[in-house]
């Protein structure tokens, strides 16, 4: 029994791989292009583990994917590989169109060609699990109900538009060709191995370096927050019991304003690593809001609980403490991912 995982050296993908192999001996073939956010250090604990086979490659490479499917005969594909940072999609949307749309199309076609001639029992058991985002649903007003799986798609950024397109492709390949697909749309993830361009790791890393903590606009943008190992457990539940063709929203039941997230991180750092210069909140700096910034996301995760019995194990209080402590305990990892190109990008995005 084997899984093919795409994007398994990135933040969510690597956490899924590590979580899976903590609980199962089923082999994982891990395909990742190792772009700036893919990092084999995330998987260092698996070095020499025969259950984990890493392949550097691109999800747009049809010949490579065909070869992996023919050689390893996986029972499922779990598709994480994606460009995922909204800010980067605004300044450079082309990479998002290629990876998120063309890559998903390539993977679907390879999966269909592999799945069609399988013996009937294997064909019925096969799954293509597409990992997506709540951002495809657009933005909510403060009093709007949370996103349900039936919410109309209203993507507002090049990133969310590219993920919406990939979701539609996955749906179409099920309804047209019968490919047994599953889609999960998750809220904002946080936890270990998170590349420090997203809000929580950026705040931790900048605070420890005594740098400004850039907060867009008034900081009142609201997101639902999901601890990354809870996301991994949700994917396991959907892969095991989800109905082909169905969509499952995965959320943490933790709606928080961005400024409150930043202040929570500062308070934890004040407790765990006090700065002689004073409270970390002194570093909070409001910067010009990004174009088209969605005001609120919120996930209604009742369907996955009702049908599959899944709920997150972490509260935000427990998850954020674990996250801050992980970054304090892994300064070498942080140093290694902060390449010159990354520092240049942060300077350009938020100001020196």
* Superfamily holding 2-192+226-254+293-313: NAD(P)-binding Rossmann-like Domain (3.40.50.720)
pLDDT band at 340 (very low <50, low <70, confident <90, very high): low
pLDDT greater than 80 at residue 344: no
pLDDT greater than 60 at residue 352: no
Q: Please give the pLDDT value at position 316.
A: 97
pLDDT tens per residue, range 46-78: 999 999 999 999 999 999 999 999 999 999 999
Q: What is the CA radius of gyration of the chain?
A: 20
Mean pLDDT confidence for 14-30: 97
Q: Please give the pLDDT value at position 74.
A: 98
pLDDT greater than 90 at residue 159: yes
Q: Does residue 335 or residue 239 have the better pLDDT?
A: 239
256-288 exposure pattern, b = at least 16 Cβ within 10 A, e = fewer? bebbebbbbbbebbeeeeeeeeeebeebbeeee
pLDDT greater than 70 at residue 38: yes
pLDDT tens per residue, range 262-311: 999 999 999 999 999 999 999 999 999 988 899 999 999 999 999 999 99
Mean pLDDT confidence for 199-205: 97
pLDDT band at 343 (very low <50, low <70, confident <90, very high): low
> 205, 208, 183, 187: which is closest to 196 by C-alpha?
205
Whole-angstrom Cα distance, residue 92 to residue 96? 8
Whole-angstrom Cα distance, residue 39 to residue 157? 26
Whole-angstrom Cα distance, residue 135 to residue 138? 6
Please report, for the chain, the start and end positions of each structural domain, with discontinuous segments joined by +.
2-192+226-254+293-313
pLDDT band at 87 (very low <50, low <70, confident <90, very high): confident
- Please check whether residue 115 is in contact with residue 244, taking contact to mean a CB–CB distance below 8 angstroms: no
Q: Please give the pLDDT value at position 215.
A: 97
Q: Which residues are catalytic?
A: 134-135, 159
Sheet holding 127-133, edge to edge: 52-56, 27-32, 2-6, 76-79, 127-133, 181-186, 247-250
The average confidence (pLDDT) of the chain is 95
Calculate ∠ Cα 24-29-32, nearest 5°: 125
């Amino acid at each position: 029994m084997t899984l093919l995982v795409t994007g398994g050296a990135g933040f969510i993908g690597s956490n899924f791989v590590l979580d899976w192999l903590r609980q199962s001996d089923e082999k994982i073939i891990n395909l990742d292009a190792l772009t700036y956010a893919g990092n084999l250090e995330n998987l260092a604990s698996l070095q020499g583990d025969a259950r984990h086979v890493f392949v550097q490659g691109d999800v747009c490479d049809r010949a490579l994917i065909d070869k992996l499917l023919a050689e390893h005969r996986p029972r499922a594909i779990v598709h994480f590989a994606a460009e995922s940072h909204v800010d980067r999609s605004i300044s450079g949307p082309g990479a998002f169109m290629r990876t998120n749309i063309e890559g998903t199309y390539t993977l679907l076609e390879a999966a269909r060609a592999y799945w069609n001639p399988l013996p009937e029992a294997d064909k019925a058991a096969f799954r293509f699990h597409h990992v997506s985002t709540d951002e495809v649903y657009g933005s909510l007003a403060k009093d709007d109900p949370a996103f349900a799986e039936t919410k109309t798609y209203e993507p507002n950024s090049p990133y969310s538009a590219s993920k919406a397109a990939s979701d539609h492709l996955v749906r179409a390949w099920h309804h047209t060709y019968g490919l047994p697909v599953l889609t999960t749309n998750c809220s904002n993830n946080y936890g270990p191995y998170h590349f420090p361009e997203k809000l929580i790791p950026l705040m931790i890393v900048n605070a420890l370096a005594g740098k400004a903590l850039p907060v867009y606009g008034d900081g009142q943008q609201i997101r639902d927050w999901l601890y990354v190992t809870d996301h991994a457990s949700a994917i396991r539940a959907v892969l095991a019991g989800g109905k082909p063709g169905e969509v499952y929203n995965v959320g943490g039941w933790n709606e928080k304003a961005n400024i409150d997230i930043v202040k929570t991180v500062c308070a934890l750092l004040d407790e765990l690593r006090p700065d002689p210069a004073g409270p970390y909140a002194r570093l909070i700096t409001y910067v010009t809001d990004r174009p088209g910034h969605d005001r609120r996301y919120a996930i209604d995760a009742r369907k996955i609980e009702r049908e599959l019995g899944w709920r997150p194990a972490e509260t935000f209080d427990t998850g954020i403490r674990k996250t801050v402590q992980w970054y304090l305990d892994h300064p070498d990892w942080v140093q290694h991912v902060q390449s010159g190109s990354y520092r240049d990008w942060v300077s350009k995005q938020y100001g020196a």
